[in-house]
Homo-oligomer: A and B are copies of this chain.
């Protein structure tokens, strides 16, 4: 077994996408850029910068091209954008993004509500995206939303995830895949088991990610169970910014700083500096109209930042 301090995890930051889009009033582009820069300074190595979607659907993303222009050529952080269809993919490519996240839901009801088409239509779009980008150096990720629970249909059976994944991986065999707990209602043991099952059925080359929310208080545990199942990429939002419009009372993505504490104190390196991350989280929490949920921000800062001393860790 590896020494604990040789283990690593990638915390993929989604505050600029899943977080900002939860705020109704448009944020100043400069403020968004400043926050993104703080997150890069903290050592975030992968980030979802936003979405190329209709500005009518999500006005907060109307300045994507401007933000893209600012960060074009950024090398320290791998930046992706979310797309719901081939139109979004082409826009992203035009704006210099070669790291695309295609989203579709496992449940029909959520897919129709989220991207206004059937699951079959989304799979057709995915096919078009793959065709449009084949032969290029585009990296594609497929986010399987509602992989555990749907705000309309309740618990999502494993077999539904299996079926949609099987179709998607046939279309995009080189893609990275994320199982997403869109509502925050997944429970940790099911997260662990579902990833183990899906990983066993997928090609060895498939890269896996987990996207979670903390609505039911399972956010940190769900992420850890995904990690223990072998998932190396965990999505989260600094300050826990977010909130699902379809789940009243829902909180945002699990707070990056809470996950940072859970992983780093356990000896799993993230490459991120907790003090700078918390400063970025403070700035995010100060955004007007934002809804945040963070535990680390609520405790005395010194206690939040202090790390278990080297040589004072329990052996794994």
Contacts and interface: CB of A to CB of B under 8 A. Distances in A.
A169 to B, nearest CB: 19
Contact of A247 (B157, B299, B314): B299
A304 B217 CA distance: 11
Contacts of A304: 216
Contacts of A154: 306
B299 A216 contact: yes
Contacts of A247: 299, 303
Query: Taking each of A158, A215, A224, A250, which has the highest tally of chain B beta carbons within 10 Å of its own beta carbon?
Result: A224
Given A303-B185, A314-B193, A308 B155 contact: yes
B220 A188 contact: yes
Given A249-B300, A299-B250, A314 B194 contact: yes
A225 to B, nearest CB: 8
Given A247-B299, A249-B300, A262-B188, A158 B214 contact: no
B295 A216 contact: yes
A262 B221 contact: yes
A7 B201 CA distance: 26
B314 A188 contact: no
Given A155-B309, A157-B312, A187 B265 contact: yes
A252 interface: no
Given A154-B306, A248-B300, A268 B216 contact: no
Interface string A265-280: 1111000000000000
Nearest to A216: B295
A286 interface: no
A312 B308 CA distance: 41
A189 to B, nearest CB: 3
A188 B295 contact: no
Contacts of A309: 155
Interface in A232-264: 247-251, 255, 258, 261-262
A298 interface: yes
Interface in A176-193: 185, 187-190, 193
